[in-house]
Amino acid sequence: MIEFSQRLRALPGYPLAEIPTIKRRLIEAGMDVIDLGAGDNDTPPPGVAVAAMTDALRDPAYSKYGFQQGLPAFRQAASRWVERRFGLRFDPTTEMLPLIGSKEGLSHVPFAVVNPGDATIVPEPGYQAYLGGSILAGADPYIAPLRPENGFLLDLEQVPDAVLRRAKLVFVNYPNNPTAAVATPEYLQRTVAICRRHGILLAYDNAYCDLTFDGYRAPSIFEIPGARDIALEFFSLSKSFSMTGWRIGFAVGRLELVTALTRVKSYVDTGPFLAVQKAGAAALDQAEALVAPIRAELERRRDAAVAALREAGFALEAPKAAMYLWVALPAGVPSAAFAKRTLEETGTVVLPGSAFGLAGEGFFRIALTVGADRLRTASARLGQTLAATGRGELAPTT
C-alpha cells in the first residue's frame, strides 16, 4: 500500500473541490442553478487576446518550450503596464517573471525562502494557495485572523514576536479575497517596515488591483519606500481580462528575489504556453480600454447585489474593490450549513466563510460573476434561507 506524505495529509480540503459534482446533480435534476462560487466572470476574454492567440497557434515557433524567460514581448508588455499603471520601472528581462497564473507563483514562492519548520504568515480567511504552498514546502504556517473590527487587515503588529523571528514569508492580499477589503498606504508602510525589520519576504498578491469602484485606486506595494528590498508582487490577467482559464500572470521584484523564484520554477514547470504569453501581451498593451467596461459592469453588479441583499434582510457595506461580497450571517448560524441549504434547496452556489479557514466563520462569499438580474434572483433565494434560519430551521451544528 502507498502511504501518503504528512504534507499531503496536512492539506485541508480545497474549498471549491466538491461544488462541480453537486452542481451537476442539481442541473440534471432540472434545477435552475446560479453559481456565485468561483471568482470566474461570465464576460468573454478580449478580442485582441483571442486574435493574438489564433495567430500564434498558426506559427510553430509558439509551440516550443517557453522556459522561464518566456516571450520577451510579454515581459516587455508587463513592464510597460506596471510603469503606466503605477509609475514604477522594472527591468523586463531580470525583474519580471511570467507565471502560469498567479496561483502558481504564489504557491511556489515558499520553496524559495522556507526551511523545514520556518514560519509563513497566512491570512485567514484567505486565498487557500498561501496555506497549501506553505504546507507543501514544509513550512509551519501561522494563521493570522482577519477581523471585521480591524478592516480585515492582516496586522503584523498582532503577530507574536517569537513567530516574527522565525517567519520567512507573509502573504498580503489587498484588494482582498474573500473580504473585498482594501489597504491604506499607512497600513502598507507599517507592514513593509515590520518585514524589513525581521527579514520577512512580503508576497503581495495584487490579483484584483484593477477591479476597483467609486474612484478608488489600488496601489502597488512598490509605491511604499523600502518595499523593493523585501517584496515580490504578483499580478494576474485572470480577473481584469476575464482570462481565468488561460493561466497567465507575472511576478515583479528586484533581481535576487525574481531569480530565486525563477530557480524554483525551473524545476517544476517550463513556463506559460508562448501563445498565451502573446495573447497576454496584447491584452496588457490595451489594459486601460479593456478593463474599464469590466470594472463598470462589476460596479453595476455590486450595486444590484448589495441593494437586493439588504432588501432580503442581510446587513452589508458596498465594497470598494475586488469581485466579491463578504456577507455576515446572524450570530450562531454556521456558514457551511447555510451554504449547503442554499445550494440544495435553491440551486444557488455561494462559498461558506469556513471554506476560507475557521476565522471565516460567520460569513459567506458571493462572487459577482453573473449579471445584475441573476444576482437579484440569487439574493432573493439567499433571503429565503436566511428566513429559514430566523425560524430556527438551521441548527447551529456542523
CB of 251 to ligand PLP, least distance (A): 11
Nearer to ligand PLP, 252 or 394 (CB): 252
CB of 126 to ligand PLP, least distance (A): 8
Residues that bind ligand PLP (CB under 6 A): 39, 101-103, 127, 173, 177, 205, 207, 236, 238, 244, 249
DSSP states along 263-312: HHHHHH---S-HHHHHHHHHHHHTHHHHHHHHHHHHHHHHHHHHHHHHHT
The alpha carbon of residue 117 and the mean position of all alpha carbons in its chain are separated, in whole angstroms, by 26
Q: Which whole-number Å values give the CA distances from 34 to 251, 309, 374, 380, in the listed order?
A: 34, 15, 7, 12
CB of 211 to ligand PLP, least distance (A): 11
CB of 103 to ligand PLP, least distance (A): 3
Query: Which position has the grid cell 434582510?
Result: 313
CB of 205 to ligand PLP, least distance (A): 5
Question: How many other C-beta atoms can be found within 10 angstroms of the C-beta atom of residue 285?
Answer: 19
Q: Are 51 and 378 in contact (CB under 8 A)?
A: no
Nearer to ligand PLP, 152 or 385 (CB): 152
Nearer to ligand PLP, 18 or 311 (CB): 18
Nearer to ligand PLP, 102 or 342 (CB): 102
CB of 395 to ligand PLP, least distance (A): 31
CB of 117 to ligand PLP, least distance (A): 26
CB of 242 to ligand PLP, least distance (A): 11
CB of 161 to ligand PLP, least distance (A): 28
Nearer to ligand PLP, 207 or 232 (CB): 207
Q: Compute the distance between CA of residue 241 and CA of residue 287 in angstroms, rounded to an integer.
A: 8
Query: Which position has the grid cell 435534476?
Result: 29
Nearer to ligand PLP, 249 or 383 (CB): 249
Q: Which H or E run includes 70?
A: none
Q: Are 201 and 231 in contact (CB under 8 A)?
A: yes
Using only the alpha carbons of the chain, give its radius of gyration. Answer: 21
CB of 59 to ligand PLP, least distance (A): 25
Nearer to ligand PLP, 251 or 339 (CB): 251
Q: Are 198 and 339 in contact (CB under 8 A)?
A: no
Q: Compute the distance between CA of residue 303 and CA of residue 387 in angstroms, rounded to an integer.
A: 22
Give every CB contact of residue 94 below 8 A, 6+ residues apart in sequence: 255, 258, 259
151 sits in the region (left: phi over 0; alpha: psi -120 to 50; else beta) called left
Give every CB contact of residue 265 below 8 A, 6+ residues apart in sequence: 68, 97, 104, 105, 108, 271
Nearer to ligand PLP, 124 or 198 (CB): 124
Query: Which position has the grid cell 506524505?
Result: 5
Nearer to ligand PLP, 124 or 205 (CB): 205
Question: 332 — phi, psi (to 5°)?
Answer: 90, -10
Q: Which whole-number Å values give the CA distances from 43 to 20, 89, 305, 325, 377, in the listed order?
A: 20, 31, 17, 18, 19
Nearer to ligand PLP, 238 or 242 (CB): 238
Q: Compute the distance between CA of residue 191 and CA of residue 188 in angstroms, rounded to an integer.
A: 5
